[in-house]
Structure formats: C-alpha cells, structure tokens
Amino acid sequence: MFRSVAKLVLALAAVVPLASHAQEAPSIKLGYAKCAHCTPMALTPQHAANIKLEAINFNTGNDVLTALVSKSIDVAQVTYLHYATALDRGFDVVAISGQINGGSQILVSNELSIKENDWAGLKKVIAEFKAAGKPFRVAASRGNAQDIQMRGAFAKQGIDVNKDVQFINIPNPADHVQALRRNEIELISAVDPFATQIRQLNAAKFFAFPYDQAAGKLTNLIVTRSDVIASKPKAVEETVRSIVKVNALLIADKTLFVDTIQKITGLDKAIAAGAVTNLYPDTNMYRASAVSMGAMMRDLKYIQTDVSAAIDKNMDYRFLEAVTGKPKSALGY
C-alpha cells in the first residue's frame, strides 16, 4: 500500500511541474494606435504561438509610446517619427520590425479653389491669406507620421509651417472631420481611415499624398525595450513572427484588412475599403530612410539632436532574420 501511494506521489510530482511549465508561457503586452494601418495588430494574438500575446488599443501613437517607456506594455506599434523622438529624448527603444507604411493624405477645405497636387496654387492662396491679415490654419495630430510628412513636404515646396501658416494640433485623428466641418482649419494632414472618411463625407477634398520628402511613405514601426529583449528574446521573436504572419494574410486577403479596420474603428466598410488602397503592408525596417527622416526632423527643429547613430544602433534585425530566414541586407538595412 505504501509503495502504491509513493508511486502515485512521484507520478503527480512529475506531472505537476509539466502542467505548471505549460502555464508559464511568456507573456507580451502589445500596444497599438487606432488608425487603419495599426488595427491589424488586433489579429496578432490569434497568430502567435508559444506566447501569451495581448493586443491593447490606444487612441494615439503618443499614448502607445508613453505606455512602452513607462513599462506598462512590452512591445509597441508606433511610427518612425515616434522612434526618432524617443531616441532624441534618451528613451530606451529598440526597433524590431516594420509593419505597414502609407496611410497619409493632405486634405483642403472645400471652400478653397485649390486643385490636386497644385502646390503653386496652394502657395498663392496662403499668400492671399497673409495679405488679408488672416491666418492660413494647418492641422495635424502633432507627433504622428502625417504631421512630419506634411512638414517635410511643405519645407520642400518652400512653405514654412512656423511663418507662413498657423499650425493647429488636433491630437485625436477622429476629431479631424469636425474641425473641417466647423471651418476651424483650411488644410489638414490626416491619417487613414479618418482621411478617407473626411473625403467620403465631403467635409474636405483631396490635395496630395505627403510622400515627397525624406521619410517617403515610412509610417509604422514595431519597437520594444532592451530589458524586454534581454528577459524574453524568444517571446519577442514570436511577436515578430505573428506580425509577419498577419501581414502575409493582409496582402493575400484585402477583405480581412477591411473587416479589421471596420471592427476596431467602427467606421463604415466603404471608408475602410477606401483606406486600404493607400496602405502598404511591409515588415522591413528601412534604416537609411529612417536616418534621413531623423535629419529632416532635426532641420525642422522637431527634435534637438542628431539621432542618426542612435537610429542605426537601435535597429535590431535579429528577430526579422530569424522569422523570415532572410539576411538584414534583404530586410531594409
């Protein structure tokens, strides 16, 4: 009898650690913002293996970055702009994957007789406003990709956002449409799907894509902290793997992309479908373009220091290499 009990105890002792181990899959909290190209992050938990991945939605990229540096989350979907800004401030951020680029539009008030891509016409209208003693009000959500893309595009066209126009910060992109409807602004650099929503509601008209500047179409980046990499390297790798899987699904199935945008933002399917045409799933990390963007941000006095070396140093391609089987030279390095 004693031997039987002893065998049972030993058997249980062997099983319990296994059960405990099975419950101890590393966990990752992944934060993402409420924009069209950010919403696919909501799909990552169901495509993650060997980790407990929780995807948490925030209103803006600034909120996501704050959560990352305060250690409320482990991995963040932000923008290349947030990445450069964080490095400028001395924060511990490490880029581990790209995600989706594009998703930006410059829109102008319906009241203005400015044609698409007519920069000379835009400059003429701005000059007329100045001559009449009226501010030409330009809006964006300060700190997002659309903000810096617009500023860079303006600078290339000889428009000074500090002298020629009055900049207005509208933090939540969902509020952009109302600002236009209330005639509080003349022009806005907006993110999809809200930019497409504005156009479909006829609250403003399309002017240009703000991609003709150093940042190009660069938008989203996946970042983490060095302590997360040190303590959970395999979990970080599996997080990147889930993002790569989701991107492949989005490329193959536009309907999935549309449905995900609609579910997360609550916007109409037609708006989501319109937004998808301006989005480019891409997990590469474009180092040289990121460095050029950092230099542009410094020229625009958006950041105070030269972050070129930090951008280069803090792009960790190991996880993308492991997941894709490609060398970093084929992943944007």
Spans of all domains in the chain? 25-101+218-330, 104-208
Element holding 308 (H helix, E strand):
helix 308-313
Element (H, E) at 81: helix 80-88
pLDDT band at 300 (very low <50, low <70, confident <90, very high): confident
Mean pLDDT of 312-316: 96
Judged by DSSP in three states, 101 sits in: strand
Q: Which CATH topology does 104-208 take?
A: D-Maltodextrin-Binding Protein; domain 2 (3.40.190)
Does pLDDT of 103 surpass 50?
yes
pLDDT band at residue 23 using 50, 70 and 90 as cut-offs? low
Q: What pLDDT does residue 67 have?
A: 97
Residue position matching structure tokens 């910060």: 169
What single-letter amino acid sits at 292?
S
In the β-sheet with 94-102, what is the strand arrangement from edge to edge? 52-58, 27-33, 75-79, 220-224, 94-102, 279-282
Task: Show the DSSP H helices in 132-212 as ranges.
Answer: 145-156, 176-181, 194-200
Average pLDDT, the chain: 90
- Give buried/exposed letters for 68-99 (b at 16+ CB in 10 A, else e): bbeeebbbbbbbbbbbbbbbbeeebbbbbbbb
Whether residue 207 has pLDDT greater than 90: yes
Q: Are strands 27-33 and 75-79 parallel, antiparallel or unpaired?
A: parallel
Query: Which tokens belong to 206?
Result: 């399309």
What average pLDDT does this structure show over 67-81?
A: 95
Q: What is the pLDDT of residue 4?
A: 44
Predicted confidence band at 13 (pLDDT cuts at 50, 70, 90)? very low
Per-residue confidence at 238, pLDDT binned at 50, 70, 90? very high
pLDDT digits (tens, 9 = 90+) for 113-133: 999 999 999 999 999 999 999
Kindly calculate the radius of gyration of the chain based on its CA atoms and give it in whole angstroms: 23
Q: Is the pLDDT of residue 22 over 50?
A: no
Are the C-beta atoms of 101 and 280 separated by less than 8 Å?
yes
274 pLDDT higher than 50: yes
Q: pLDDT tens, 211-233?
A: 999 888 998 999 999 999 999 99
Q: At what angle do helices 145-156 and 80-88 cross, to 10 degrees?
A: 90
- Equal fold, 25-101+218-330 vs 104-208: yes
Instruction: Give CA–CA dist 140/149, Å, rounded.
Output: 10
The fold for domain 25-101+218-330 equals D-Maltodextrin-Binding Protein; domain 2 (3.40.190)
> CA triplet 37, 40, 42: central angle to 5 degrees?
135
Among residues 45, 48, 82, which one has the least CA distance to residue 62?
82
Mean pLDDT of 140-166: 90
Q: For residue 42, is pLDDT > 60?
A: yes
More confident residue, 109 or 61: 109
Say yes or no to pLDDT of 142 above 50: yes
- In this prediction, residue 220 carries a pLDDT of 93
Token code pair at residue 151? 């500023």
